[in-house]
């Protein structure tokens, strides 16, 4: 029984140590492996970029001279303001468009929601170049609209980039906003109505405040996607230089690696800032939906429903038109002069041809496997093997989302193409492409995994321990089966992104490891726009086919291993 009551100061600060067991050794090994992977493939390469931006091209340390040169050369410095401008414009337009679309999908009784939902997701399956190509085919110097009306809207430059980014980013913003709008409580609307609020007042006092965190999140995601995107500005930017294309020009065009590194570091700033602000804002988010919430069942409002059908049809029509234009242009002799059908553009005669497509599929499949293992394993290490390393590892794991692909690619050149380094062995292999994809898209996979792990009862491992069952057995028998839907979603996310990514891999492909998305870029550069379109069609078709297989597999998995749950497994469509 308590006799004395010692003051807090008399209680030692350290806790009693438990004897180390074999399980602890395994735990620490996992932590070490995960930390080593993040260090070697993320932190160490990024350090290289920082360091190289302080050197001149012969390797002498020159301090901030590169930065001074960058900011004082108007032709290059313009890329900063250009990047900020197009990204901000794309952000405003995309979020506004996506909000209306998301509202229609979640808060109305409009018909054909499923069709609209699928149509909006199409851009996820295509490299960002594709939107730009379609715009050029329609509004470019030889575009069909330009030729039909004689009016050249000047699509090359800021206008074209912004439009292309809007459609490229649209599904990402839409997914966030749909989730935000779906998470609401019908009782709030009942309360507003009983208090005499009209529809407009309810919208501004209940609906908008409820989704403000989702709006902020969507804004940052779109801004980051747009400012780090390389494909669209490369294809349609013309002389309008943005930071991502500037890095490419400095490195690929002028072999000026130090200036490439300098622009990269500067490009990191807005991306990292956007990320930090987003995290801070999300921290203030409170749970709007509790276990006692009532789901909102939208009322039938014929006028609003049908106006929104019109709106969605317009947006979805635009998106479908993009892919239709690409498909048609790949199947006709010579857009827009000869619309006779042909398959000749599918007989690729340059840039790796079909080999690049097979490479892409292999890389994407292996990225899915390796990425899922590292993301789920890493999530498990951070969430369930609580050590002093958990905090730093978490931070490192969410860092990649704010590292632009161009920067990562450049970092990998510096790290893995360094003569004399043992890491050089990776250069020119498919492995380095897979690693770069895994790191590039790591954050979303990791966060999906930690979310799934946090939703699990924290006592599962403790129950196992109390019964003398080692943690890795509980991981295999319980954790993995329960998280299977998330694991499948993560692997699909990795696969689709690895199929379409351009920015990181464009620097590190080598003869023999060409990828389809890069081939599209190179064909376009070489003037083979029809072949570029054909390759784009194949990339999209592969993505869609794999998505179908995933969907079928998902149904099988749900039926077989998730028999214990009646709720439908959350499916697909995670975004950056």
Residues that bind other proteins in the complex, under the rule CB under 8 A: 1-6, 8, 11-19, 21, 23-24, 457, 459-460, 462-470, 473, 477-478, 481-482, 561-566
| Residue 21 vs 421, nearer CB to other proteins | 21
Q: How many residues does the chain have?
A: 576
Left, alpha or beta for 281 (phi > 0: left; psi -120 to 50: alpha)? alpha
570 DSSP assignment: P
Nearest distance in Å: CB 199, other proteins:
40
Residue 338: phi and psi, rounded to 5, are -130, 105
**69-82 burial: b if 16+ Cβ within 10 Å, else e:** bbeeeeebbebbeb
Q: Cβ of residue 551: shortest distance to other proteins, in angstroms?
A: 22
Q: Cα separations (Å) of 206 from 210, 397, 481?
A: 6, 35, 39
Q: Mark residue 59 as left, alpha or beta (left: phi above 0; alpha: psi -120 to 50; beta: remaining).
A: left
Least distance CB 461 / other proteins (angstroms): 9
Q: Which is nearer to other proteins, 182 or 465 (CB)?
A: 465
Three-state SS at 242 = coil
Q: At what angle are helices 158-182 and 74-107 packed, to 10 degrees?
A: 40
- Tell me whether residue 60 or residue 566 sits nearer to other proteins (CB atom): 566
Q: Judged by CB, which is closer to other proteins: 200, or 563?
A: 563
CB 486 to other proteins: min, Å: 14
CB of 473 to other proteins, least distance (A): 7
CA distance 390 to 396: 10
Nearer of residues 167 and 460 to other proteins, judged by Cβ: 460
Contact between 218 and 140 (Cβ < 8 Å): no
Asked if residues 126 and 536 have their Cβ atoms less than 8 Å apart, the reply is yes
Find the helix or strand (DSSP H, E) in which 138 lies: helix 129-139
The tokens for 357 are 């497509």
Shortest separation between residue 568's beta carbon and other proteins, angstroms: 14
Tell me the closest approach of the beta carbon of residue 33 to other proteins, in angstroms. 22
Rounded Cα distance, 506 and 508, in Å: 6
User: Rounded CA gap, 541 and 346, in Å?
Assistant: 13
Nearer to other proteins, 2 or 292 (CB): 2
> Residue 7 or 200: which CB sits closer to other proteins?
7
269 CB-contact burial (10 Å; exposed 0-12 / middle 13-18 / buried 19+): exposed
Q: In terms of CB distance, is 313 or 480 closer to other proteins?
A: 480
Least Å distance, CB 374 to other proteins, is 24
């Amino acid at each position: 029984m308590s006799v004395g009551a010692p003051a807090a100061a008399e209680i030692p600060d350290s806790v009693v140590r438990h004897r180390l067991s074999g399980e602890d050794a395994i735990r620490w090994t996992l932590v070490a492996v995960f930390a080593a992977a993040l260090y070697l493939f993320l932190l160490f390469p990024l350090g290289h970029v920082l360091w190289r931006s302080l050197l001149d091209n012969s390797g002498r340390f020159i301090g901030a001279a590169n930065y001074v040169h960058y900011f004082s050369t108007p032709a290059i410095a313009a890329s900063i303001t250009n990047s900020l401008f197009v990204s901000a414009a794309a952000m405003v337009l995309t979020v506004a468009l996506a909000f209306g679309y998301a509202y229609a999908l979640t808060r109305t009784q409009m018909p054909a929601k499923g069709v609209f939902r699928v149509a909006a997701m199409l851009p996820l399956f295509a490299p960002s170049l594709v939107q730009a190509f379609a715009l050029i085919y329609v509004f470019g110097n030889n575009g069909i609209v330009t030729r039909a009306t004689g009016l050249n809207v000047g699509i090359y430059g800021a206008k074209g980039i912004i439009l292309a980014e809007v459609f490229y980013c649209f599904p990402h913003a839409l997914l966030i906003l749909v989730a935000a709008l779906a998470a609401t409580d019908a009782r709030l609307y009942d309360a507003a109505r009983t208090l005499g609020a009209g529809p407009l007042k309810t919208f501004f006092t209940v609906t908008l405040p409820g989704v403000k965190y989702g709006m902020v999140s969507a804004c940052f995601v779109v801004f980051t996607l747009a400012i780090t995107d390389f494909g669209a500005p490369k294809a349609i930017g013309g002389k309008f230089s943005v930071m991502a294309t500037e890095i490419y020009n400095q490195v690929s065009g002028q072999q000026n690696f130090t200036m490439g590194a300098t622009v990269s570091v500067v490009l990191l700033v807005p991306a990292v800032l956007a990320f930090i602000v987003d995290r801070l804002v999300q921290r203030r988010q409170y749970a709007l939906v509790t276990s006692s919430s009532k789901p909102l069942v939208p009322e039938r409002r014929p006028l609003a429903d049908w106006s929104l059908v019109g709106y969605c049809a317009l947006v979805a029509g635009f998106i479908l038109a993009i892919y239709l234009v690409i498909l048609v242009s790949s199947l006709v002799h010579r857009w827009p002069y000869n619309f006779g059908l042909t398959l000749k553009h599918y007989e690729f005669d340059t840039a790796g041809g079909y080999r690049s497509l097979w490479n892409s599929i292999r890389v994407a499949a292996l990225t899915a496997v390796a990425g899922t293992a590292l993301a789920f394993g890493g999530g498990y290490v951070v969430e369930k093997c609580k050590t002093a390393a958990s905090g730093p590892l978490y931070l490192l794991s969410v860092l990649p989302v704010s590292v632009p692909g161009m920067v990562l690619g450049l970092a990998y050149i510096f790290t893995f193409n360094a003569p004399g380094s043992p890491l050089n062995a990776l250069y020119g292999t498919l492995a380095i492409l897979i690693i770069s994809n895994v790191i590039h898209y790591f954050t979303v996979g990791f966060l999906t995994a930690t979310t799934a792990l946090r939703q699990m009862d924290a006592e599962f491992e403790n129950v196992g321990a109390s019964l003398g069952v080692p943690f890795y057995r509980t991981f295999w028998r319980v954790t993995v089966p329960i998280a299977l839907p998330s694991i499948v979603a993560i692997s699909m996310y990795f696969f689709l992104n690895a199929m379409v990514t351009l920015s990181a891999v464009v620097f590190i492909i080598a003869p023999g490891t060409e990828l389809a998305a890069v081939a599209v870029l190179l064909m376009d550069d070489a003037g083979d726009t029809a072949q570029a379109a054909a390759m784009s069609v194949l990339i999209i078709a592969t993505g869609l086919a794999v998505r179908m297989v995933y969907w079928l597999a998902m149904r099988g998995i749900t039926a077989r291993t998730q028999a214990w749950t009646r709720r439908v497994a959350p499916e697909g469509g995670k975004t950056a």
